Structure 1
Amino acid sequence: MLNSLSGRFLILTVIFVMLAEVLIFVPSVARFREDYLYTAVERAHIASLAALSDDMVNPALERELLETVGVYNIVLRADDARQLVLSSEIPSPVAATYDLRDATAVTLIRDAMATLVQDSDEIVRVLATPPRRPNLVIEVTLADGPLRMAMLQYGLRVLILSAVISGMTAILLFWAVRRVIVLPIRGVVQAMESYAEAPEDARRVIVPSAGVRELRTAEQALRSLQTQLTAALRQRQRLAQLGGAVAKISHDLRNVLTTAQLFADRLEETSEDPTAKRLLPKLLNSISRAISICEGTLAFGRVDEPQPALQRVPLGDIVEDVIEGERLAAADQNVTIERDIPHEMYVRADPEQLYRVLGNLVRNARQALALRPEGGRIAILGRETESDWIVEVSDTGPGLPPRARDHLFEPFASASGKGGTGLGLTIAHELVRGHGGTLTLVETGPEGTRFEIRLPRAVVGLDAPE
């Protein structure tokens, strides 16, 4: 509550109202004291008139008049003459004299505060001019104890009234500020929080509705900012998707171009045709440049692959195409590639995507074995169960390092050593998932690595299996 805008505003309102009441309280008490003394002077004037009208005022009547007025002595001054009209014994010497005839506001406030803070009763003398007698001065002597008590009671009433007024004012201001300012600000904050959860959702862009001009201007500025940010995020997402698509295409295109380069190299070595010998170097340079371009685009992000065009295809033919391309690359690497695929084994898959999956797995295995002087062996095995078609790609390589295992299918986490891009397993994993299957690392270690591809036999959404 205290940390909220409305709570702090409530506290500040109470403080400022009380401060204003204090500023009113001081002159009010001073004015009360002045009125109190003038009232005593008026009563003293009336008592003096009664005493002057009867020359034979007995002591009992004189004492009664002084007690009624609340003073000890009454003195009248006219010109230079001074007449003691009524008098009684004063319990202590006069401590101070207050002249109300020419007293300023500062003097009245100072004397009032001095009366409030003193800790004992004193006898004071007051000089004033009675009403309708400008040439007459009345001098009265009285105790300031009753005066101080009356001032304290009056001040207490003022403070209680001030507290009630400040409380009501604070409540009304709190309600008004909460209604007019705090709630619209909270609405803006909620709109910002909602937008932060899903900035790409255009429904979460704030709609300006505040009645306060400044808040409405802030809402309009926020709406403009959110609109621009949403458009920027969409544009960034499109660019990321485009970059990811280009990266994947470049990765696989580079592999295809590498194979074409190997064939062109072999053709250059074996062909005796003069035209071929003249054109093949240019072809090789073009392929090299294309490979460089593909490698330069592999820094882009990922996107989803297009849906696979599923059909029943012979697994052996796809595996043979993969082996034929990789054997040529492994000719000088002491790497052998074997296969064990049943001749009658057909799988439901997109042949192009399945070729890319197997090509990436075999290529990664070959690149790992190429780092070893003794080379190694790659095996592609196929089998089927009642629920799945299973393809295993294994090698006798050194196994995957721990970091590669921790980030196995993350993009750009290459596990094949120098020359790898880290996209092969990522692409293969995504393509297999698009078929509804799984690509898992079964084992890896000094004896070799084995990956397993599982493609489901069941057809989702059809009444009967194929």
Structure 2
Amino acid sequence: MRSLSFRVLCLTIFFVMVSEVLIYTPSIARFRLTYLTEKLDKAHLAALTIDGSPDRVISQELTFELLDHVGAYEIVVEGPEGDTRSLSRPMFPPGEVEVSLYEPMPMALVFDAFDALFQTGNRILRVTGPAPMEPASTVSITIDEYPLRMVMYDYSWRILTLSVLISVFTAALVFVSLRWLLVRPLERITESLVAFRKRPEDRGTDLDDRGRRDEIGVALRELGLMKEEMRAALRQRTRLAALGTAVSKISHDLRNMLSTATLISDRLAMSQDPDVQKVTPTLVKAIDRAVALCSTTLNFTRETPPLTLAPVRLADLVAELRAELAELKDKDVEVLLSQEGDIVFQADRDQMFRVVANIASNAVNAGADTLRVSAWEASGRLLVDIADNGPGIPEEGRGRLFQPFQFSTRRDGTGLGLTIARDLVQAHGGTLTLERTGSDGSTFRMNLPARTVV
């Protein structure tokens, strides 16, 4: 009952029936007009028998026969020169409804036709109009409406029967055509998508798009290309997952080994041997970089932890960032906060600080000595800009900023800082983008949901 085929069938029948109703409305009005016009024609012919009788007088018996043939109580024909011919019964009811067939209006004909159909009793009609064979003459007849309504009912029933037959026949043709051209291909596409979701590697459910040059053919070809791209992506993802697992294990074990090397290097740093003191700083820095590389790799391969949302004051984040950068002995970095009012928003404080710290660290490593943080609300979103006065990002690196292991501001960097920052911002329901970059510095923008802004 909910299938597309059944709905197409029902809609086709419905629309055909609506079309038949639209056709029936003027048809029933025209049928009533024709019926009354034929009555006037018969009445005119009946009145002409008066001219063929002696002294223009006919017997009462013939008068009744002519009136019965027309189905009227009275017939009056007025000629263009004022002469009158009339036939009537001795006693007949007066006309209740005046019907004029002189220049009938289409809407009036439709209204009168439906008015006649919805009557429950018999009304006496006095119909006046031009004589069909003598337009200059006027014919008036007095008739019952009941016989007219009965033939209109009969006509309506025939129209309804014919409409139903046409609807069913047309719906069947349209249904078969649409099912062959549209519905069945869509069903096959749906079945293929469901099977692909269950077993992406199974090619037995792929569809053949040969022979179709219409939109369905385009959809089939695009679906085939999408499947191939998805299979390639899944294969790559599987390889990357295996590689990530291996790298995580190696990094974990290597970090444990480096911890031992760190303890030994600390003891070497306490040695008074001049040769040992000469090589120890280089060794310590190399071990520290190796430990940082292992820690960064482990952080990237680890799933983003569940966020603990709480009110976070932007000024506190900037102050914490300022304190951390102040520990850099070889650089003097100024962190400025430009904003209107005290901005507080819902976020995971530790994860949001990781975002700000990663962006700031990249800027400082690139040569920036001033960072400016600004924030404002727009269209229900919180926008946070982190701008620096560094040398900017090279053209070749702008398209690979957020790709892991692709771009770093340091020669010994991993290229994971911005990738981790982007993932953390996305976990908060926001986006991280490079707003601008140039020789006077770069600006990164966080677009976050403004859950709480004060």
Letter of the 2:296 counterpart = G
Distance in 2 (CA, whole Å) between partners of 1:285 and 1:110 is: 99
Deviations 1:160-184 (A, max 9, x none): 1111111221222122112211111
Partner of 1:294: 294
What residue identity is the alignment partner of 2:94? P
Question: What is the rounded CA distance, in whole Å, between the counterparts of 1:100 and 1:191 in structure 2?
Answer: 66
Contact (CA 8 Å) 2:195, 2:205: kept in 1 or not? yes
| Pair 1:212–1:159, CA change in 2 (3 A) | farther
Any idea what SS the aligned residue of 1:85 has? strand
Query: How far off is 1:152 after superposition?
Result: 1.0
**Which residue of the partner structure matches residue 53 of structure 2?**
54
Matches within 5 A, 1:109-148: 109-148=110-149
> What corresponds to 1:18 in structure 2?
17
The 3 A distance-change label for structure 1 pair 243 and 44 is same
Give the match's secondary structure for 2:24: helix
Deviations 1:261-309 (A, max 9, x none): 566777899x99875676566545544543443343334659xxxxxxx
SS of 2:235 mapped into structure 1: helix
For residue 145 of structure 1, what is the amino acid of its counterpart? Answer: Y
Write the distance in 2 (CA, Å) between the matches of 1:289 and 1:68: 117
Distance in 1, Cα, partners of 2:45 & 2:296: 113
Tell me the distance in 2 between the aligned counterparts of 1:68 and 1:51. Answer: 15
- In the other structure, the counterpart of 1:8 is 7
What does residue 172 of structure 1 align with? 173
Q: Determine helix, strand or coil for the equivalent of 2:49.
A: helix
Paired residue for 1:347? none
Q: CA deviation at 1:198?
A: 3.6
Give the residue type in structure 1 aligned to 2:23. I
- Whether the aligned pair in 2 keeps the contact of 1:240 and 1:300 (CA below 8 Å) is no
Letter in 2 for 1:298: L
Superposition pairs of residues 56-455 of structure 1, within 5 angstroms:
56-199=57-200, 207-209=208-210, 211=212, 213-259=214-260, 275=275, 279=279, 283=283, 286-299=286-299, 301=301
Say whether 1:31 aligns with 2:19. no
Distance 1:133 1:281 in 2: 127
- Give the whole-Å Cα distance in 1 for the aligned partners of 2:129 and 2:265: 127
Instruction: In structure 1, give the amino acid aligned to 2:176.
Output: W
Whole-angstrom distance in 1 between the partners of 2:208 and 2:108:
61
One-letter amino acid of the counterpart of residue 153, structure 1 = D
- The answer (yes or no) to whether the contact 1:41–1:130 under 8 Å persists in 2 is yes
The whole-number CA distance in structure 1 between the counterparts of 2:97 and 2:281 is 123
Q: For the structure 1 residues 286 and 104, does the alpha-carbon distance in structure 2 shift closer, same or farther, using more than 3 Å as the test?
A: closer
Query: CA separation of 1:99/1:279 partners in 2, compared to 1, >3 Å: closer, same or farther?
Result: closer
Q: Is the Cα contact below 8 Å between 2:50 and 2:85 reproduced in 1?
A: no
CA contact (8 A) 2:47 2:85 kept: no
1:236 counterpart SS class: helix
**Gapped runs of 5+ residues in structure 1?**
303-466
- State the 1:240 CA deviation: 2.6
Give the distance between the partners of 1:202 and 1:58, measured in 2 at CA: 96
2:330 matched residue in structure 1 = none
CA distance in 2 between counterparts of 1:261 and 1:131 reads 120
How far off its partner does 1:22 sit?
Answer: 1.0
The answer to whether the 8 Å contact 1:18/1:163 transfers is yes
Summarize deviations over 1:185-231 as a string: whole Å, max 9, x none: 12222222222224456666655357362222333333343333333
Q: CA RMSD in A?
A: 3.1
Q: 1:130 to 1:289 in 2, by over 3 A?
A: closer
CA deviation vs aligned residue, 1:121-178 (integer Å, no higher than 9, x gap):
1221222333432332222211111111111111111111111111221222122112
C-alpha distance in structure 2 between counterparts of 1:136 and 1:214, whole Å: 65
State whether residues 40 and 141 of structure 2, in contact with CA within 8 Å, keep that contact through their aligned partners in structure 1: yes
Q: Percent same amino acid at aligned positions?
A: 39
- Residue identity matched to 1:104: M
- Maintained 8 Å contact 1:261/1:287: yes
1:406-445 deviation line (CA, Å, top 9, x unaligned): xxxxxxxxxxxxxxxxxxxxxxxxxxxxxxxxxxxxxxxx
C-alpha distance in 2 between matches for 1:259 and 1:225: 50
Residue identity matched to 1:34: L
CA–CA distance in structure 2, aligned partners of residues 151 and 20 of structure 1? 20
Amino acid of the structure 2 residue aligned with 1:50: T
Q: 1:282 and 1:51 mapped to 2: Cα distance?
A: 138
User: Residue 71 of structure 1: SS of its match in structure 2?
Assistant: coil
